[in-house]
Structure 1
Amino acid sequence: MQTVANTLAGHRSIRQFKPDEVPQTTIDEVLQEAIAGTSSSGNLNSYSLIVTRDPARKQRLYELHGEQEFVLQAPLVITFCADWYRTRQWLKLRGARDNFNNFLGYQVAANEAMLISQSVTLGFEARGYGICYMGTTLQAMGQIADYLGLPETCLPITTIAVGVPDEQPERRERLPMRAYVHDEVYQKPSAAELDDLYRAREESGWQRYMSMPRLKAMCEEGGITSLAQMYTSPYKYDPEAYAATSQQVLETLRGRGFLPNRLAPEQTQE
């Protein structure tokens, strides 16, 4: 077992896994420790974890997560859900008023799902396992919820693949600490400060993209000449795709009981 500092220092996103299974005893230990040791609003623990090991079920998750090969390689996939269904049923059983089927409830539960996911990640990494977070969970939120049989006011927030690493990727760089940490109040960076903060990232990130023939060809074809342009290009985080996905997420929240059928501003319009 590693220390927390060593575990954080050794973190890498792993996308190639060996076929070795993760023992059930290890899974139980990690999840129990994470649940016991993660902060929760009101100790209501508004999350649920769906553990997937069956190859056939992983095949469907692979499809829903954009056909990323490591989903099939990893012996274990865990989906972290914002979940008020369990609590709301308990409230009903005890004759208490219903609550949490609203946007604030979603925010609290989504935050807690991310908190527990990080605790679980640290638990596996401290034992030598590798993980990869899947942002595609949000893109396919509704479909994943249907596939996993999630009830009302229960939605997937993030997913991790877990297994024995079969690669040793380089550590990804971060911006200098001063980019993230503000003393007392937010310090807006000037253009000169932004240039200084992002200079090393722009150079190393662009070199990494240019070292990959497929990405280099895409950039040349699309007239992309910088890392910043790549990040908002059709090949990565396309603003139009983000807007469409944002609308899908809103509709999913409405359909799953976290938002009213109509937004408040529309209700007041004549």
Structure 2
Amino acid sequence: MTDERGAVISELLRSHRSIRRFKTDPIEPELIERICADAIQGSSSSGNLNTFALVLTEDPARKAKLCALHYEQPMIRQAPLLITFCADVHRTRRWLTLREARDNFNNLQGFLVAAFDAIILAQSVALACEAHGLGICYLGTTIDAATEIARTLELPETCVPVTSLVVGYPDEAPARRDRLPLAAYLHRERYQPPADADFLDLYAERESKGWQRYQALGPDMAAKMAEHGITSLAQFYTSDLKYAPARCEATSEQFSQLLVEQGYTDRLRGTARRKQG
């Protein structure tokens, strides 16, 4: 029995794909609630405080507003469901207040624990969706647009969006994305960085396949790469076409300010004041 369950889980993990084209078929409300309930039950949480919140968006008009914040990714309008996962210590702090306990968790540690709780839950929801034949795609743009998402969803103090899932029935069957060889990730007893030559060998297939994939996006992308003098996948990843350092710094600053605005945290508030001064 154990081997059978292990085989099922292994197959589920190996069959993961990020889906970006969805059928318009609605998802039964009972299935959504079952998936969420099972995922919450099956997800580890620090101190069992469960410092997360899920905001389900199905209304087309509300999805359209969020789609605009997520850089107008078409799959958001197309899929029947968007789930925003939030680091939420607001609920816990309200419980503390009502029970006349000392306030806490509106600090950096509280945010980090809540964010990790929310991410753990998001992956459990993703696996549960896939087990029920649904497709999912994570939205990394949640961090970029976190301030406006928080306002749109009317999130209370010390509740901050950290990731989102688009969910629906798949209308495509994309190829599996490559991963680096296991040796690139796995360290025994201590972190053991390989020599440069061995390190580049670990990335050789990724460099080749990734370069081909982005070049295949069309002549416009190839022309833009040439215009920016990009000759490798590594260069592309930190170029202005992908993850430009200046843009990442700006997003980091915006997210830090959002934490301050949402009631996290004295240490960050002091940092913000020093930078302004």
Alignment TM class, shorter chain as reference? over 0.9
Match of 1:115 in 2: 120
The separation in 2 between residues aligned to 1:206 and 1:264, in whole angstroms, is 39
Match of 2:234 in 1: 228
TM-score when normalising by structure 1: 0.96
Match of 2:270 in 1: 262
User: For the aligned residues, what is the CA RMSD?
Assistant: 1.6
8 Å contact from structure 1 (residues 141, 155) kept in 2: yes
Deviates most, 141-150 or 253-262:
253-262
CA deviations on 1:51-99 (whole Å, 9 max, x unpaired) are 0000000000100101100000000000000000011001000000000
Aligned residues: 267
* Equivalent of 1:136 in 137, 141, 146: 141
What SS does the corresponding residue of 1:262 show, helix, strand or coil?
helix
* Equivalent of 1:164 in 160, 165, 169: 169
Identity %: 51
The separation in 2 between residues aligned to 1:178 and 1:38, in whole angstroms, is 27
Q: What pairs with 1:1-270 in structure 2 (closer than 5 Å)?
A: 3-213=8-218, 214-260=220-266, 261-263=269-271, 266=274
8 Å contact from structure 1 (residues 3, 126) kept in 2: no
- Post-superposition shift, 1:222? 1.3
8 Å contact from structure 1 (residues 82, 113) kept in 2: yes
The separation in 2 between residues aligned to 1:205 and 1:163, in whole angstroms, is 27
- Post-superposition shift, 1:3? 2.5
The separation in 2 between residues aligned to 1:212 and 1:94, in whole angstroms, is 57
- Post-superposition shift, 1:264? 9.7
What SS does the corresponding residue of 1:51 show, helix, strand or coil?
strand
8 Å contact from structure 1 (residues 49, 78) kept in 2: yes
TM-score when normalising by structure 2: 0.94
The separation in 1 between residues aligned to 2:143 and 2:273, in whole angstroms, is 25
CA deviations on 1:162-220 (whole Å, 9 max, x unpaired) are 00111111100000001001010111222111111000110111111122213212112
8 Å contact from structure 2 (residues 85, 163) kept in 1: yes
